[in-house]
């Protein structure tokens, strides 16, 4: 199914000369280009075999001029052109030198792209701001045609005070990562001697660590239309810097952005979700109208955990849940078809905001006899600290309390007290009770809160339609804990027939064999109940390397299953290197389900709120950039990757879109599939627990939402 043309952030260019002369030497010099093993071998007739060679655009002592064609059509018989890898390095170096000559901070990054810093406004006080643009040289696979990708990055900030200013006197040099010296960028540990002799001219680039140490507040996240901003910024950059004659002398860049014809998934016909008494495409309407897919039959009791100052807030939230407020008629029962029930003397009030855990645990133990094993319990924790609070001590309270309750079989829901009540803490007298004047709009967040609670209790708020084939989908995602300075992997398991999640695990980043064993065990358990497993689909948060895949293949081979394994690698961060724009629309965001087949089994998939046939945009739901997806298919007993059939690729891309509809932490549409989002949430929390061995309840429901 075709859709409107997309304009990509790519400019075609042509070689300024048919023949390119560079100077080759065995001596490494500043600003030289390292030649690959292939390029060295191609010059072995001149320099001899197994020599390490370097290239420069200007002659150096002992160098030899070598001329080759830039493309095969300009080669004489028996000649070969410069390799594409060399041409990429050559043009990248030329671009970096070009912008440095113009006085801009510029560098070649670790993937051989040019990063250019253009002056802009910083969001942080006391800093100079720079918008970072990444320029990538690439070649179309089939035609060897050169292209220049222009990617807009974030605004980086450079502190206006140098590293030897007294403000840094108690800050370790380890906190300095990149620094700016005389308009050039350097890793602090690799600064040139001149920078070390003139540290009053060395200015640190801001990192989250430095921002926290300097006690600089973080700005609110940008929520405007990124498509408009991105397209405007790269066009301004093109006009201002890519049309100059100096640049055109070595690469003739076209003025028009590359146009492509994408395809569109037929998700509009299959995006209905199943609720209790009907179907709807939108959770926020379907849940209210038709009720949840599964009803909770166990009696469920709610209680509060709160600081003594927040009693008025607990009274007011209790009224919302009980259906006593006109802004949220029906309360919990009206929304979830579930009776809201509390019991006297069960709530816990603590007095020490800074160290409440000991007091809470003591009171939980004292109230132990009040908890009935036949009932389910939900703790509503009114947190004194925002989720954006960067204090490690304050964040640890949240993690330890969640674990403390989980061990006792109690799920918890955290509510930011200050965000809900407001900074001024207004109250009203109602009989004998003092109640909080809750901020306007709180009732709009209640559907999200109640949906998350329902999923935490192990029930299904909504699900997908039954699928014709039996597939097992395993999602693996990662999270790097800045506090613990370690990477963790989380994995979630799902049946594709309705998108029901069965279990979770969390591993250290290097526990690949344990992860593989967990996957094999889940596959085995599934096959014991379902005899017709057609294939195993693994959603991975990045491209799965051979090293990472090997233990998984080995574990599956031992099961002797005759099923293929498909790895769908989804870039966990939205793709902002290749972006497509629908210039026929004022907002420029392509309709959801639009996809573009890239090279090497890669796809660009737009998964957003914009449905075919409607121009309605909800700014609160955002303007997410596309997902970059790579599909690898492995047949049974074969380690080679085969290209999936087009119909299979469409099915797998559709599956990614559908699984993004199963995010039970919110009733708003999401853009990342839960097969990756849920494991990431799990990996964010579990490493902070005292005990990594979770109780059974902790492996079977979504307590971490």
Q: Nearest CA to 301 among 461, 409, 434?
A: 409
When pLDDT is averaged across residues 310-316 and rounded to a whole number, the result is: 95
Q: Is residue 502 located within the same domain as residue 419?
A: no
pLDDT on residue 574: 61
Predicted confidence (pLDDT) at residue 449 exceeds the cutoff of 80: yes
pLDDT on residue 505: 77
Q: Is residue 414 located within the same domain as residue 511?
A: no
Predicted confidence (pLDDT) at residue 1 exceeds the cutoff of 60: no
* Cβ 129 vs Cβ 122: under 8 Å: yes
Kindly state whether residue 190 falls inside one of the protein's structural domains: no
CA–CA separation, 372 vs 216, rounded Å?
A: 48
Q: Are strands 33-34 and 54-56 parallel, antiparallel or unpaired?
A: antiparallel
Please give the distance of CA 553 from its chain centroid, rounded to a whole number. Answer: 26
* Count of the separate structural domains present in the chain: 2
Q: Where are the alpha helices (DSSP H) in 535-604?
A: 546-557
Range in 199-203, 377-381, 574-578 the model is least confident about: 574-578
CA–CA separation, 46 vs 115, rounded Å?
A: 34
Q: Is residue 480 located within the same domain as residue 363?
A: no
When pLDDT is averaged across residues 157-179 and rounded to a whole number, the result is: 93
* Cβ 402 vs Cβ 361: under 8 Å: no
pLDDT digits (tens, 9 = 90+) for 2-15: 568 999 999 999 99
Kindly state whether residue 349 falls inside one of the protein's structural domains: yes
pLDDT on residue 105: 93
Q: Is residue 400 located within the same domain as residue 366?
A: yes
Predicted confidence (pLDDT) at residue 704 exceeds the cutoff of 80: yes
Q: Identify the residue with better confidence: 449 or 495.
A: 449
Q: Is residue 534 located within the same domain as residue 422?
A: no
Q: Are strands 564-570 and 627-634 parallel, antiparallel or unpaired?
A: antiparallel
Kindly state whether residue 582 falls inside one of the protein's structural domains: yes
**What CATH number does the domain containing 559 carry?**
3.30.420.10
Q: Identify the residue with better confidence: 208 or 313.
A: 313
pLDDT digits (tens, 9 = 90+) for 648-688: 999 999 999 989 889 999 988 888 899 888 888 888 888 88
CA–CA separation, 675 vs 493, rounded Å?
A: 8
pLDDT on residue 48: 86
pLDDT on residue 693: 67
Q: How sure is the predictor about 249, in pLDDT bands with cuts at 50, 70 and 90?
A: confident
Predicted confidence (pLDDT) at residue 186 exceeds the cutoff of 90: yes
Kindly state whether residue 211 falls inside one of the protein's structural domains: no
Q: How sure is the predictor about 55, in pLDDT bands with cuts at 50, 70 and 90?
A: very high
Using CA atoms of 653, 656, 658, 663 in order, give the dihedral in degrees to the nearest 10. Answer: -170
Predicted confidence (pLDDT) at residue 498 exceeds the cutoff of 70: no
* Cβ 223 vs Cβ 199: under 8 Å: no
Kindly state whether residue 626 falls inside one of the protein's structural domains: yes
Q: How sure is the predictor about 698, in pLDDT bands with cuts at 50, 70 and 90?
A: low
Which residues fall within 8 angstroms of residue 151, CB to CB, at 6 or more apart? 9, 133, 134, 135, 136, 234, 576, 577, 578, 579
pLDDT on residue 21: 93
Using CA atoms of 248, 251, 255, 260 in order, give the dihedral in degrees to the nearest 10. Answer: 180
Q: Is residue 530 located within the same domain as residue 497?
A: yes
Q: Is residue 534 located within the same domain as residue 661?
A: yes
Please identify, among 406, 423, 456, the residue that sits at the C-terminal boundary of a domain: 456
Kindly state whether residue 333 falls inside one of the protein's structural domains: yes
Q: Is residue 517 located within the same domain as residue 666?
A: yes
Q: How sure is the predictor about 87, in pLDDT bands with cuts at 50, 70 and 90?
A: very high
pLDDT digits (tens, 9 = 90+) for 260-275: 999 999 875 567 899 9
**What CATH number does the domain containing 393 carry?**
3.40.50
Range in 55-64, 148-157, 216-225 the model is least confident about: 216-225
The strand ranges marked E within 482-626 are 486-495, 500-508, 533-540, 564-570, 580-581, 594-597, 602-605
CA–CA separation, 7 vs 150, rounded Å?
A: 12
Domain extent, residue 560, equals 470-700
Q: Nearest CA to 634 among 493, 516, 519, 535?
A: 535
pLDDT on residue 576: 66
Mean pLDDT of the chain: 87
Residue where the block lists tokens 């429901």: 701
């Amino acid at each position: 199914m075709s859709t409107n043309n997309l304009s990509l952030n790519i400019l075609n260019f042509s070689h300024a000369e048919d023949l390119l002369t560079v100077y080759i030497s065995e001596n490494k010099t500043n600003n030289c280009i390292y030649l690959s093993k292939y390029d060295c071998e191609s010059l072995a007739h001149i320099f001899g075999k197994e020599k390490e060679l370097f290239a420069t655009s200007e002659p150096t002592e002992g160098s030899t001029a070598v001329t080759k064609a830039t493309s095969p059509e300009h080669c004489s018989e028996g000649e070969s052109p410069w390799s594409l890898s060399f041409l990429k390095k050559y043009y990248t170096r030329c671009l970096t030198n070009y912008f440095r000559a113009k006085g801009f901070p510029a560098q070649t990054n670790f993937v051989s792209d040019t990063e250019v810093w253009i002056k802009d406004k910083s969001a942080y006080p006391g800093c100079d701001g720079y918008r970072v643009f990444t320029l990538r040289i690439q070649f179309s696979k089939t035609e060897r045609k050169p292209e220049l990708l222009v990617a807009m990055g974030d605004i980086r900030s450079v502190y206006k005070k140098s590293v030897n200013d007294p403000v840094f006197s108690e800050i370790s040099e380890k906190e300095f990562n990149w620094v700016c010296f005389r308009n050039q960028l350097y890793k602090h540990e690799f600064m040139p001697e001149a920078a070390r002799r003139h540290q009053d001219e060395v200015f640190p680039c801001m990192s989250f660590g430095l921002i926290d140490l300097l006690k600089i507040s973080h700005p609110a996240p940008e929520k405007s239309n990124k498509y408009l901003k991105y397209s405007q910024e790269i066009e301004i950059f093109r006009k201002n810097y890519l049309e100059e004659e100096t640049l055109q002398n070595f690469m003739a860049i076209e003025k028009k952005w590359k146009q492509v014809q994408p395809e569109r998934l037929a998700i509009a016909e299959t995006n209905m979700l199943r609720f209790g008494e009907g179907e709807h495409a939108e959770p926020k309407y379907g849940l209210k109208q038709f009720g949840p897919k599964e009803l909770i039959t166990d009696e469920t009791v709610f209680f509060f955990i709160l600081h003594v100052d927040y009693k008025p807030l607990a009274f007011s939230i209790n009224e919302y849940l009980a259906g006593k407020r006109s802004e949220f008629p029906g309360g919990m029962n009206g929304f979830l078809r579930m009776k809201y029930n509390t019991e006297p003397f069960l709530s816990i009030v603590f007095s020490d905001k800074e160290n409440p855990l000991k007091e809470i645990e003591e009171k939980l133990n004292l109230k132990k006899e009040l908890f009935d094993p036949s009932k389910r319990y939900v703790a509503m924790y009114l947190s004194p600290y925002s989720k954006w609070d960067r204090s490690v001590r304050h964040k640890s309270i949240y993690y330890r309390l969640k674990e403390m309750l989980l061990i006792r079989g109690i799920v918890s829901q955290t509510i930011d007290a200050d965000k809900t009540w407001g900074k001024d803490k207004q109250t009203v007298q109602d009989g004998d009770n003092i109640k909080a004047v809750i901020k306007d709009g709180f009732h709009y967040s209640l559907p999200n809160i109640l949906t998350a609670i329902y999923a935490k209790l192990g029930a299904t708020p909504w699900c997908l339609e039954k699928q014709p084939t039996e597939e097992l989908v395993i999602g693996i995602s990662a999270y790097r804990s800045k506090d613990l300075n370690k990477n963790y992997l989380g994995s979630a398991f799902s049946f594709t027939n309705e998108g029901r999640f069965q279990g979770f695990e969390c591993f250290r980043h290097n526990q690949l064999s344990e992860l593989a064993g967990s996957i094999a065990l889940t596959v085995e358990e599934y096959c014991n109940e379902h005899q017709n497993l057609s294939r195993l689909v693994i959603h991975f948060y990045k491209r799965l390397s051979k090293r990472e895949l090997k233990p998984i293949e080995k574990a599956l081979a031992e099961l002797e299953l005759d099923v293929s394994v498909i790895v769908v690698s989804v870039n966990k961060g939205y793709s902002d290197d290749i972006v497509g724009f629908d210039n026929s629309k004022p907002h420029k965001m392509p309709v959801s389900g639009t996809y573009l087949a890239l090279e090497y089994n890669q796809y660009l998939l737009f998964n957003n709120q914009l449905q075919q046939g409607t121009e309605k945009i909800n700014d609160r739901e955002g303007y997410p950039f596309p997902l970059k997806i790579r599909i690898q298919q492995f047949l049974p007993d074969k380690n080679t990757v085969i290209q999936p059939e087009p119909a299979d690729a469409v099915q797998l891309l559709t599956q990614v879109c559908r699984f993004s509809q199963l995010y039970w932490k919110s009733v708003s549409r999401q853009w990342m599939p839960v097969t990756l989002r849920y494991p990431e949430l799990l990996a964010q929390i579990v490493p902070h627990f005292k005990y990594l061995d979770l109780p059974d309840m902790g492996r079977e429901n979504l307590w971490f939402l």
